[in-house]
Amino acid sequence: MANLLDQLAAMTVVVADTGDIDAIKQFTPRDATTNPSLILAATQIPTYQNLIDRSLQESRQAMGPGASAEEVVCEALDEICVTFGKEILKIVPGRVSTEVDARLSFDTQATITKARKLIGLYNQAGISNDRVLIKVASTWEGICAAAQLEREGIHCNLTLLFGFAQAVACAEAGVTLISPFVGRILDWYKKSSGRASYPGPEDPGVVSVTQIFNYFKTYGYKTEVMGASFRNVEEIIELAGCDLLTISPALLDQLRLTDAELERKLNAFDPAPTEAQIHLDEANFRQMLAADPMATEKLDEGIR
């Protein structure tokens, strides 16, 4: 019998959720996602010190001799994220996700400007837009920014997504991909309910992603669904068949070492019955989000 990872890869695009280049080499996923915390963790690995040094040098050169230390650091953060992204793209055949500064989450124009800068750094290295996803927070402002970026041919991964309103607004904006945070949703419900655990099919994060997936497929939205932020293998098993799943190296290893039959739970060609289609303007979006305390709290916490 094949291991769970091989079976999963046959029905879902497996993505590595890490900035650790050696871990990506080990699991050979199609895509990879990064965020500032993952890049920070990777920068602590001595092997990658040369990448950090190169990024700092390039940022100093880009800013010129008159730049302040703060300006150099801000430039270096972008350089470091893109430097790791370029190295990752030497390994994966697909795409890498690189995140816009979360401090820009409520500023549409600043998000657009930062995204153009990041994709420009990739383009300067000869990397085309189709190999990069710009990660943007799923605020109303972020979704509006992503809609404009998609019109410009800059593909977006909408992150910090916890609620149905966020997902629907992203799909209507025509974004390339969304990353619903399975594990962080579970964290909130465990804390709120006092329960120590949930069975896989009842896991609130699993239920949320399942709802979003079936809604998108029923109404023909092109936006891809990529489950993210997993706490355990059971959550991954329950979302087998999702468009993509981004998984940490530790959980990828667990899947690889487990021999068991994996059942497809989600099917894009035969989605489960879902609710009536809705359309959201800004007022309806904000009203729906405000009515969901979990999504509101987790979005604010993620940005902080």
Of all residues in the chain, what percent carry a pLDDT higher than 90? 82
Displacement of CA 33 from its chain's centroid (Å): 6
pLDDT of residue 71: 81
Q: Which of 120, 114, 122 is nearest to 142 (CA)?
A: 114
Displacement of CA 125 from its chain's centroid (Å): 23
pLDDT of residue 61: 81
Q: Which of 179, 178, 177, 116 is nearest to 145 (CA)?
A: 116
Q: State how far the Cα of 7 lies from the Cα of 42, in Å rounded to an integer.
A: 29
Q: State how far the Cα of 208 lies from the Cα of 166, in Å rounded to an integer.
A: 12
Beta bridge partners of 170: none
pLDDT 10s digits, 81-120:
999 899 999 999 999 999 999 999 999 999 999 999 999 9
- Rounded to the nearest integer, the mean pLDDT of the chain is 94
Residues 160 and 206: beta-carbon distance below 8 Å: no
Question: What are the contacts of 69-73 at 24+ separation with CB within 8 A?
Answer: none
**pTM across the whole model:** 0.94
Instruction: Give the number of other Cβ atoms within 10 Å of residue 177's Cβ.
Output: 24
Phi and psi torsions of 58, nearest 5°: -65, -35
Which 3-state string (H, E, C) describes 64-94? Answer: CCCCCHHHHHHHHHHHHHHHHHHHHHCCCCC
Angstrom CA distances, 131 to 31, 87, 126, 248, 289, stand at 9, 13, 11, 21, 31
User: CB under 8 Å to 106, separation ≥6 — which residues?
Assistant: 139, 141
Confidence band of 264 (pLDDT split at 50, 70, 90) = very high
Least-confidence region, from 20-24, 41-45, 112-116, 161-165: 41-45
Confidence band of 150 (pLDDT split at 50, 70, 90) = very high
pLDDT 10s digits, 39-83:
878 878 888 888 888 887 888 788 888 888 778 777 888 888 999
- What positions carry a catalytic annotation? 135
pLDDT of residue 70: 79
Residues 104 and 145: beta-carbon distance below 8 Å: no
Q: State how far the Cα of 131 lies from the Cα of 96, in Å rounded to an integer.
A: 6
pLDDT of residue 48: 85
- For residue 63, the SS3 value is helix
Confidence band of 125 (pLDDT split at 50, 70, 90) = very high
Find the helix packing angle between 36-43 and 69-89, rounded to 10°.
90
Which domains does the chain show, CATH number per domain? 4-32+94-303 (3.20.20.70)
Torsion of CA 9, 11, 17, 23, to 10 degrees: 0
Angstrom CA distances, 142 to 39, 104, 153, 289, stand at 22, 8, 16, 14
pLDDT 10s digits, 203-235:
999 999 999 999 999 999 999 999 999 999 999
Extended beta strands in the chain, E state: 13-17, 31-33, 96-99, 132-137, 156-161, 177-180, 224-227, 244-247
Tokens of 1: 């019998």
Amino acid letter, residue 35? N
pLDDT 10s digits, 126-142:
999 999 999 999 999 99
Instruction: Give the number of other Cβ atoms within 10 Å of residue 272's Cβ.
Output: 14
